[in-house]
Structure 1
């Protein structure tokens, strides 16, 4: 592809993207393909000779797009959002065109210095105190793994990377059963082992980790000769928004010298609104925090902010400095590859810089406040419809509900059939979870372009399809 062809197809791709985003409401939210449909359309091996771009682009539209679930659809109410505000997409065009490898300050000084600045913009926006710095990770999974590795190294007197875990006391990490599965993976990858992730009982409206139970577990492990290393708390857990009492958990972590990591991957974005910060009272005592602007704030995936109170501990755990990566003749520079597990780094700060400037914090606050308000209203409307039960009250814009089957012993099966029917219908997209062993259906409002009319459409789709499954009765 020569320069002029690159120009032509770049324009074509940008036009296609604008047309795509403008027609999302006319598309079913979830891909309607069956397993194997798309694979059957793809050649069994790569071509030996070049193929024309016109043919490639045409087959992308014809064969690939029918198998895509539309995460930017304004009626995407499943999982958590993976927003890509249009201004963020434009910034990503530029990042892709520049194609810089931003592992060191010297490999792109602007990338490093912009990252430092936008992280501090976000620190201020979330109301975190001075003293927190941070790094942009690809996802919360990487941030959590990094935090667990710091827990491990700190507990072992910084000997784990050098000597391994053989012969060491059993390290113990504490969390509730409401945390994301990325915590389990971090425990696996760090070598600590699933058996040493201690699940602390939860209680109350927010399914919070019980402080007394946490302290009892720590004491029991110390008495057994184990080595407590850290606590992972959550604010806005994935299933139903479980939220720990950060102040109480933080006090216990300090008392026993444990590292405290807070996973606020989804809910952290809402903390740009001062009225929601009560959900993480005590956050200033955390050693590290993760939140994903690529969920609710509008930054295109991947973009996860990993705040730390003590960057030296993170660098001490992860930095490797062979001669070919040293920055000679420059003092005081930050090399963010020393703050992360991967060496390679994309220019992720640019889309945040564009996003925060183009929308302003107040514009983003208005979006989040609307999502919370619309979700609360939908929960109230569903609660008034016979046959519907609100299982967990809204935590910000996330709640769960259940529809009663005609045979009460078949309620789980009925609700699984309901969520399948809703998604096959195509108007909206929802997902299910299990609460105390029983199926419930999750709803969260968070898509960047959603309107109140889209949430109203969810009410009609849910109630109409539920009525149809029950033979026209609620």
Structure 2
């Protein structure tokens, strides 16, 4: 493809995306396709001869977009938002064209140093402690971050013995029953064995970690000869967006020399608003912290910001230096090798798109976006409370509202099924105190109050039909306005439950 061809077809792609965003609310939110249907529409083998680019773009319209779940649709309300924006896409386009490999400072000085700067900018915007400055990296997601943190924590506790003996020492890891499933996966991938993960009970008012139970588990492990190595606290759990008491957890970790990792994948960006900085109380005690700008901060997937305050432990855990990489970086404190802050050797640069977003919107624009998402959730929750057929089952400090009908689980499940199969909107569900609970998440780039009004009308219309034929409605439970915690994170992977339909994972 010549430069002139690239220019012409590039304009066509940008025009296609602009038209897609403009017309998105006219498309079904989710596709009406069966598993294997899209694959069956494609040739069995790659073409022998090249094809015109116009045909490629036409086949995106014909074969691909009809089978998409449109995460940028204003009525895609079932998951935490996966926001995107024009400046992010253009930054990604430049990154794709440059195709940089930023594993070493010497391999890419400008983008390595830009990444450090934008991580510092973001830490400042979120009100994170000064100890985070200079210690940031952009991972793909917070899931990678928890595994990196665990690896560094194991090295700090076990050093070279960890490298030699691995899981031979009985290291233990702790998170709440509401902690994200990526924590259990990290324990498994690190080779510790899932029996080394301790699930801490949560409070009954808001499903946040109980520090008294954490202390009991830690002390029991120490007495049994086990070695507590890491606690993963959560700011904004996946199921209900509960916030763990990070300060109290951090004090306990300091007392016993345990690494504290804070997972703020979704909710952390809310702290760009000064009135939301309460969520970071105690974060100065954290050894590592992760947040995903690609969720709620208008930056396209993937972009997971991570800070590790103990760079010595991180570098010792991550560095391998074969001859072909030795001596490639000058011994200078500003010459950071990003390969030493992540699992892969190669580093995909994500700094340009985040830089573009931070500069295009500015702190003021980002705060406006977050505040709008919180306000939309608050207004939606008010509608739910005002209708005595429904209840709110968990606090909603961010952009997620957990609610249900005063009816049995089967009726609530049927409400969700009809909503998600209509193609008009997407909700998801979780399990709160053993009860089927619907989840609606605001914060999408294009979602407005008009879209939530439309969603509420659809919800209440279907609810009226269901209650007309349902068994006697369940009576409100005492204290149900805030709800009870689930026994564990059980956001179902099968959100539609329609045989032959499409299943959307969390």
CA distance in 2, matches of 1:472, 1:374: 32
183-192 or 1-10, larger mean C-alpha shift: 1-10
For the residues of structure 1 that align with 2:127 and 2:450, how far apart are their CA atoms?
32
Kept after mapping to 2: 8 A contact 1:298/1:448: yes
Which stretch of structure 1 is more off in the superposition, 463-472 or 18-27? Answer: 463-472
1:451 paired residue number: 448
TM-aligned CA deviation for residue 114 of structure 1: 0.3
Give the distance between the partners of 1:76 and 1:188, measured in 2 at CA: 32
After superposition, the C-alpha distances for 1:275-294 in whole angstroms (9 at most, x for unaligned) are 11212311111111000000
Query: Is the CA contact (8 Å cut-off) linking 1:398 and 1:442 kept in structure 2?
Result: yes
In structure 1, the residue corresponding to 2:457 is in which secondary structure? helix
Residues 258 and 26 of structure 1: is their aligned pair in 2 closer, same or farther, counting only changes over 3 Å? same
- Of residues 28-37 and 232-241 in structure 1, the stretch that sits farther from structure 2 once superposed is 28-37
Match of 1:469 in 2: 466
Which deviates more from structure 2 when the two are superposed, residues 207-216 or residues 391-400? 391-400
SS at match of 2:307: strand
Distance 1:226 1:346, change over 3 A: same
Report whether the alignment pairs 1:178 with 2:178.
yes
Match of residue 69 from structure 2: 69
The residue correspondences of 1:230-241 to structure 2 (distance < 5 A) are: 230-241=230-241
Shift, 1:330, TM fit: 5.3
Distance 1:108 1:82 in 2: 29
Q: Tell me the distance in 2 between the aligned counterparts of 1:328 and 1:39.
A: 46
Give 1:21's aligned residue: 21
> Paired residue for 2:365?
363
The equivalences for 1:86-105 within 5 A come to 86-105=86-105
Taking the aligned partners of 2:309 and 2:347, their CA distance within structure 1 comes to: 22
Partner of 2:56: 56
Does the residue aligned with 1:57 lie in a helix, a strand or coil? helix
* Rounded Cα–Cα distance in structure 1 between residues aligned with 2:422 and 2:466: 13
Which deviates the most, 291-300 or 46-55? 46-55
Q: Which residue of 2 aligns with 1:378?
A: 380
| Alpha-carbon distance in structure 2 between the residues aligned to 1:307 and 1:283 | 11
C-alpha separation in 2, matches of 1:323 and 1:137: 26
Structure 2 Cα separation of the partners of residues 338 and 37 of structure 1: 43
Contact 2:206 2:395 in 1 (8 A): no
Give the superposed CA RMSD. Answer: 1.6
Deviation readout 1:188-221 (Å, 9 max, x if unpaired): 0001111110011111433111111111111111
Which stretch shifts more, 176-185 or 445-454? 445-454
Superposed, 1:186-201 pairs within 5 Å as 186-201=186-201
Give the C-alpha shift of residue 449 in structure 1: 2.3
In 1, are the aligned partners of 2:106 and 2:329 still within 8 Å (CA)? no
Aligned counterpart, 1:119: 119
Output the CA distance in 1 between the equivalents of 2:265 and 2:86.
21
SS in 2 for 1:231: strand
Q: State the alpha-carbon separation in 2 of the partners of residues 279 and 311 from structure 1.
A: 25
Whole-Å separation in 2 of the counterparts to 1:329 and 1:187: 35
Q: Which moved more, 1:114-123 or 1:78-87?
A: 78-87
Q: Structure 1, unaligned stretches of length 5 or more?
A: 406-410
Matched with 2:428 is: 431
Q: Distance in 2 between matches of 1:28 and 1:134?
A: 39
Task: Report the Cα distance in structure 1 between the residues aligned to 2:442 and 2:45, rounded to whole angstroms.
Answer: 41
Partner of residue 336, structure 1: 338
Partner of 2:320: 320
3-state SS in 2 of match to 1:18: helix
Tell me which residue corresponds to 2:417. 420
Map Cα deviations across residues 53-86 of structure 1 (whole Å, 9 max, x no partner).
2222212210111011111112221111111111
Unaligned segments of structure 2, at least 5 residues: 474-506
Q: 2:352 — aligned with what?
A: 350
Q: Find the residue that maps to 2:159 and give its secondary structure.
A: coil
TM-score for both structures, normalised by structure 1: 0.95
- Aligned residue for 2:492? none
TM-score (norm 2): 0.89
Q: CA deviation at 1:471?
A: 4.1
Shift, 1:157, TM fit: 3.1
Does the Cα contact within 8 Å between 2:239 and 2:430 map onto a contact in 1?
Answer: yes
Q: Compute the displacement of 1:48 (Å).
A: 2.4
